[in-house]
Amino acid sequence: MPILPIDTGRYGTSEMRKIFEEENRVQKMLDVEAALAWAHAEVGNIPREDAEKIMVAASLKNVKLERIKEIEREIKHDVMALVRALAEASGPSGAYVHLGATSYDIVDTANALQLKEALEIIERRLNDFEKILMEKALQYKETIMMGRTHGQHALPITLGFKFAVWMREISRHIERLRQCRERILVGKMSGAVGTQAGLGEHAMKIQELVMQKLGLKPADISTQIVQRDSHAELICLLALIATSVENFATEIRELQRPEIGELAEPFEAEKQVGSSTMPHKRNPETCERVCGLARMVRSLTIPALENMVTWHERDLTQSSAERFIIPEACILTDYILFLMTTIVAGLYVNEERMRQNIELTQGRAMSEAVMIALTKKGVSRQEAHELLRKLTIKSDIEKHPFKEVLLEDKVISKKLSEKEIDEALNPRNYLGTAIEQVKLMMEKTWQERKNRGLSD
């Protein structure tokens, strides 16, 4: 009976969960055993017909999961249980199963095979999300909204600019993922302590052949295990990705608050329920789910880093922890990316509310623009800043529009005409290079996608 929410199907995509199902993991281990037998035959260590029989037998059609578990209950060793079950299914040729190998030659290489499939999905998710962000950046590149710092109105930006910032963050994660593949997707065939003694004189060739057969790179050098810095790097990268997505989700949650009301995640008005007791609620539930699951992914970095520490050539402290952290990190990160791509693709944008919110401070948010205008008329930047600081406070306390306060001030009215004040207070005149930056980042991202072999 399933217990954890990944097992119940609540979290995770079926595509990613399938990679980490027990049956797929066992099949990957059988694939490694088959490749090892084939490599032994290639260098002349065992008869080719025996290798071929082992390769045919190395399938869950012939090696039953129930039989593996039955043997494991008796001998208390999961890999040796698989070896014995495969040997049984191979008949007399089973004498050559697992020749010269140690358990983690099989486990670590099988892990790499699973991760190869998982990273292909995650990279595809990142590419899809990047594309959605590109579309939104282009669509809203001129849509003015209030930029905020410390939760307060700062200066006007565009919604497309915000999306472009997110887009480039995802682009960097794609680059990181592609760079670390070479270090992560490695297997090994090096024996009990890494010396390959049990594999004989052709040991290095056997390892090379096994990895070629499986589509992996051999680890540069290893002990009984592939050193866990590569696994830790992956988990930390997935935590970075999840945290970026949480940051985006948090922004949407903030902007969905009724007091702001500028963005909102999709809501199926016909059927979706926001609250069990308050019929009016339209909660940012999916964004909140993203935030919660991102915290789980981040938590996995601690055991991943601790798994780097091992007694001598290995101990078993990594084994139990990584049976959790590798599947969970991949499944949850993939799911988070799937959710956020769906959210952004269907995002509700209230441009009218954005315009209304810009006016909340009655023009005071444009004080920097007025300050810059004054400096162009010869006023010291520091003097202009102090004067406008006092005038913004006056406007706020007296609840007078900032323009009126400016016109009433003798220094301002002497230096700036009403037309110049109006120009300075117009948010569209103070977007700087925001739109140009969006265009430049679009061009850069298009080129990067082209270099990745993507057509759009």
Domains along the chain with CATH numbers = 5-96 (1.10.275.10), 103-191+217-357 (1.20.200.10), 362-425 (1.10.40.30)
> What does pTM read for this prediction?
0.95
Give the Cα separation of 385 and 132 in Å (integer). 40
- For the question of residue 231 being annotated catalytic, the response is no
Give the Cα separation of 302 and 392 in Å (integer). 48
Give the Cα separation of 24 and 14 in Å (integer). 13
Give the Cα separation of 52 and 356 in Å (integer). 73
6-24: pLDDT as tens digits: 999 999 999 999 999 999 9
Catalytically annotated residue among 77, 98, 150, 455: 150
Averaged pLDDT of the chain: 96
Catalytically annotated residue among 231, 244, 275, 400: 275
For residue 158, the cross-strand partners are: 144
User: Is there a contact between 283 and 274 (Cβ–Cβ < 8 Å)?
Assistant: yes
Sign (positive/negative) of CA torsion 37, 43, 48, 50?
negative
For residue 146, the cross-strand partners are: 156
Share of the chain above pLDDT 70, in %: 99
82-116: pLDDT as tens digits: 999 999 999 999 999 999 999 999 999 999 999 99
Give the Cα separation of 156 and 287 in Å (integer). 25
Alpha helices by DSSP H, 77-102: 78-89
Give the Cα separation of 340 and 290 in Å (integer). 7
With a cut of 80, say whether residue 280 has pLDDT above it: no
Among 40-54, 75-89, 266-280, 342-356, name the one with the lowest average pLDDT: 266-280
Among 268-272, 352-356, 382-386, name the one with the lowest average pLDDT: 268-272
- For the question of residue 90 being annotated catalytic, the response is no
Give the Cα separation of 119 and 264 in Å (integer). 30
Give me the mean pLDDT over the 57-83 stretch: 97
Give me the mean pLDDT over the 176-180 stretch: 97
Give me the mean pLDDT over the 381-387 stretch: 96
With a cut of 70, say whether residue 275 has pLDDT above it: no
